[in-house]
Structures are given as C-alpha cells and as structure tokens.
Amino acid sequence: MMITRRNMLVTSVAGVCVLATGRAWSAPPPLKQKQTYKVGFAQTESNNPWRLAETASMQDEAKKLGYQLVYTDAASSAAKQASDVNSMIAQGVDVIFLPPREDKPLVPAILNAKKAGIPVILIDRDVDHALAKPGEDYVTFIGSDFVEEGQRVAAWLAKAVNGQAKIIELEGTTGSSPANDRKKGFDDAIKQWSGMQILASQTGDFARDKGRQVAETLLQAHPETTAIYAHNDEMALGAIAALEAAGKVPGKDVIVVSIDGEKDAVQAIIDGKLAATCECNPRFGPKAFSTMKEYAAGEKLPAYIKNSDSFYDSKNAKDVLSTAF
C-alpha cells in the first residue's frame, strides 16, 4: 500500500502498523544481526548453465561468509518450490532467498514465511505485486530489468535488419516474470517499426530441447521466418539446431537473438550462428548476501535493486568468452 498523507501511520507496534484509514500494514519481519546465519535458498531448477551459475554463486558466497546454506532444487515445479519454502520455514532458517519460478503460485509460501517471522528476499524473479508487495510481504527484489532486456534486443535486431523482419518469438516459462517482461519489452518496442512483424509466439519453457521442438513446429508453419527472438540462450541454441535440421543457415537465412550471455551462446556468436544476446547476470551471491546484511543492520532498502547487464554481439564476444558462465 502506498503511504500518503491521508493514510499516515498512527501506531507502530512490533512491526505492525495501523493506518489512519484503519487498514493494517506490516513490514517484512526483521532480521537479527548475528555472527552466522542459517539461510535458505530455494532454487527453481538446475537444467541450464544460468541456473547452475546462480546456485554456484549463492553457495560460494555462503561458504565465504561461513553461513549454513539450506539448498533445495524444485526440479521445474512451482508446487515443489512452494513446499521447499514451507519446509525451510519448518526448519527455522533465519532468512530465505527465493527466485520464484512463476509469479503467482509462490505467493502463499512467501506469506507463510512472513507469518513465521522469516524475511524473504526475492532474487532473479519477482512475484505479482497485486498479491504480494516488496517492503511489505518480502524485503526487496534483486534482479535484472527484464522489460529493458527485451527492449535492448528489439532495438539491436531492428537496426541489424533495417526494420524489416518476420519474427518467431520463443517465450520463457509461462507465468514467470522474465517471460512476461521480456515479451512486453520486445513486443512493445518493435511497434516503432512497421516492418517488424511477429508471426508466432509460443513458450519453450526456457529449455533447450523444448525450444528446439517449438522452433521446429513454428518454422514448418512459417517458412517465411527471417528472425527468431528467444527469451533465453538455451532456447536460442535449440532454435539454431532446428534451423540447421530444416536445412537453413542460422545467421544467414534466419537471424537469431536472445538473452542471458551463457558461454555456449557467446561461442555461437563467434561461430556466426547467434547474432546477439543481452546479458542477464546470474551471479547473485555477493549482492544477495550484502543486501541481507544491510537489512539486518536496519538499513532502509529500496523495493527494487537492479542488476545491470552488458550486451554481446560479434564486436565483443571473443573478449567475454573466457569469463562467461
């Protein structure tokens, strides 16, 4: 809820405030300052290099700080991820880091943690703010601006094809914040160019093989395709395999663009098969844990902490290959 002059706080007891309007508003539970913490990290899945890099970064940072990390892998199931969070609550972790697989199903678990007095920090993906709010139900959201990523890819593509393209879009996991926002960013941005047309848009669930299968089907239905925009590199690499299987030359017959910046994608740029990828940085560990410590110290945190991303194409791919994940 927005605090305005009219609904100013009139009382504040144990983190629960009553507004002049009579509506209760409460901040996320506080976190004590301690030497060490038991920290939960409920990962969504481990089926791509981006997820593995995120997990490694969280594990490395916890180890460096000497904190106990309770790690779970939801194996691509929002229901399992919710039960993983509930089990962390039962184990009495001090704080939970969560990349919610989808933007609605994880909300009850976030609210359970709040009720149990455990602060939740969302990393990488956000939830639907109509159902849960940063600074109220969870501490903050740390991550990339997915709308901006979609916009940057659209602008790069439009320039590369002189504003003329017949596009297949491979969407990420349905109901996830990156899929929603990367679609919005890209689809809205290309409206500026009348010659940029989306022929078909379908989910490939952020997975390489699903991306390959969906691209195969959509290419058969739309042989006139000249560009593929994938919401992540794994699906773009699947689409490149589908193009090759269909006897087309990626980078020549069809230009492929995507998001993430994983090593295989950077190599595909060097090989001329992928045209460009907007980085989405998965190395959350240092920022996630420093944010947690700031919160424990009572610092006022913003509702959104933005990760800034680079952009890779043939001009800089060779320079970043060795450091890509």
Chain positions contacting ligand AHR, by CB under 6 A:
48, 50-51, 124-125, 178, 206, 232, 234, 259-260, 280
CB nearer ligand AHR, residue 61 or residue 234:
234
Looking up tokens 């060490």, which residue turns up?
Answer: 36
The DSSP letter of residue 27 is P
Distances (CA, A) of 33 to 132, 150, 319: 26, 39, 41
- Closest distance between ligand AHR and the C-beta of residue 280, in Å? 5
d(CA 118, CA 20): 27
- Closest distance between ligand AHR and the C-beta of residue 262, in Å? 7
- Closest distance between ligand AHR and the C-beta of residue 82, in Å? 17
Q: Are 282 and 265 in contact (CB under 8 A)?
A: no
SS3 state at 203: strand
- Closest distance between ligand AHR and the C-beta of residue 80, in Å? 16
- Closest distance between ligand AHR and the C-beta of residue 205, in Å? 9
In degrees and rounded to multiples of 5, residue 139 shows phi and psi of -70, -55
Q: Look at the chain and count its residues.
A: 325
- Closest distance between ligand AHR and the C-beta of residue 86, in Å? 22
CB nearer ligand AHR, residue 237 or residue 280:
280
CB nearer ligand AHR, residue 163 or residue 175:
175
Pairs from 51-55 (Cβ < 8 Å, separation ≥ 24): 51/282, 52/325, 53/262, 53/282, 53/283, 53/325, 54/99, 54/123, 54/124, 54/282, 54/283, 54/284
CB nearer ligand AHR, residue 76 or residue 226:
76
CB nearer ligand AHR, residue 37 or residue 146:
146
CB nearer ligand AHR, residue 45 or residue 137:
45
Angle at 322 between CA 317 and CA 323, to 5 degrees: 95
Looking up tokens 């002059």, which residue turns up?
Answer: 5
- Closest distance between ligand AHR and the C-beta of residue 125, in Å? 5
Q: How many CA atoms lie within 13 A of 96 on its CB side?
A: 34
CB nearer ligand AHR, residue 193 or residue 206:
206
Closest CA to 29 of 307, 296, 313: 296
